[in-house]
A and B are shown apart, each in its own frame.
Chain A
Amino acid sequence: MEWAVFIAGALICLLGAFGVVTRTNPVHAALSLVGTLWGMAVLFIAQEAEFLAAVQVIVYAGSIVVLFLFVIMLLGVDTTEDLTVEPLTGQRTGAIVAGVLLAGGLIAVFSFGAITGAESVAAPFDPSAANPLEIGRVLFTDYLWAFEITSALLVIAVTGAVVLARHRPDSYVDEDLPGDTLPIETEEAR
């Protein structure tokens, strides 16, 4: 039974991943990404990580991909990329060879090696207990400091995004603003 779930989830994931890489239209790539994230959530459930599967669907498929689609709509939907043109000769072949080597090397490590490591005593994984309850207990005891740091990270990210995307009414496309010129350049211009 778990094999069937795994094969279905893996197929969805792989098809979506290939779609992200090969689709020229960014909207199609974003929708393929939803497929991958969905298949990943299936695999999470198959591995008894129900809470993270729900979070995966809500955060990734629900908000991150929507954010991507918003930006695509903002930038223009018709910006397709010509994948037949290769600006740097041999770069694409090199990338694919490197990717195959990376995947092959990692799979070799998994198949010829063994999973080592002691079983946890601090946070044992009990599949019979409610998963959100267990994660909450570990998160608010052992990982409390990291959790607090996360809030600072999110505030910094929101502030940074607001500053970066702030609209400057006096800015035109491809025209230098006074603040964009380096002090050395202005010295030379004089």
Chain B
Amino acid sequence: MFAAAPPPEVYLGLSAVLFAIGAVGLLVRRNALVMFMCVELMLNAVNLSFITYARALDDLGGQVAVFFVLVVAAAEVVVGLGIIVSIFRRRRYADADDLSLLKG
């Protein structure tokens, strides 16, 4: 019934589920830090599908794309956490619902 190794579709399905969990978390949670973690979750799900396609299509370009996603994720986390820290300096909370103004 099962193939010897999981086919690419199984990995892609897992990646889709993880992406959806991350998206739901991003919509549901209000803590800005946890929202960031959900964004990381979604980026990781996409990384998994990149690597799956790299193996399915015999193309190393997919793995290189994951490398660049990692770099962009690191830059995004640095800037995002900087914003959260500077918000917290002024407001003493980092709740997404209370941040309705584009003032620091």
Partners in one complex: yes
What number of B residues sit within 8 Å (CB to CB) of A? Answer: 79
What number of A residues sit within 8 Å (CB to CB) of B? Answer: 88
List 9 extra interface pairs beyond A91-B28, A103-B20, CB under 8 A: A3-B6, A14-B18, A26-B33, A43-B48, A60-B73, A94-B27, A106-B12, A110-B16, A174-B92
- A47 touches which one: B13, B51, B91 (CB < 8 A)? B51
With contacts A20-B34, A92-B28 taken as known, whether A153 is within 8 angstroms of B59 at the C-beta atoms is no
- B23 touches which one: A99, A107, A117 (CB < 8 A)? A99
Interface residues of chain B, those whose CB is within 8 Å of chain A, are 2, 4-6, 8-14, 16-25, 27-31, 33-34, 36-38, 40-41, 44, 47-48, 51-61, 63-64, 66-68, 70-79, 81-86, 88-95, 97, 103-104
Which residues from chain A contact B16 at a C-beta distance below 8 Å? 102-103, 106-107, 110
Interface residues of chain A, those whose CB is within 8 Å of chain B, are 2-3, 6, 10, 13-14, 17-18, 20-21, 26, 29-30, 33, 36-37, 40, 43-44, 47-49, 51-52, 55-56, 59-60, 63-64, 67-68, 71-72, 74-75, 79, 81, 83, 87, 91-92, 94-96, 98-100, 102-103, 106-107, 110-111, 115, 117-120, 122-125, 131, 134-135, 138-139, 142-143, 146, 150, 153-154, 156-158, 160-165, 167, 171, 173-174, 180
Nearest Cβ in chain B — how far from A142, in angstroms? 8
Which residues from chain A contact B44 at a C-beta distance below 8 Å? 36-37, 40, 60
Which residues from chain B contact A123 at a C-beta distance below 8 Å? 59-61, 64
Nearest Cβ in chain A — how far from B93, in angstroms? 7
Inter-subunit contact A47/B11 (CB<8 Å):
yes
Which residues from chain A contact B11 at a C-beta distance below 8 Å? 6, 43, 47
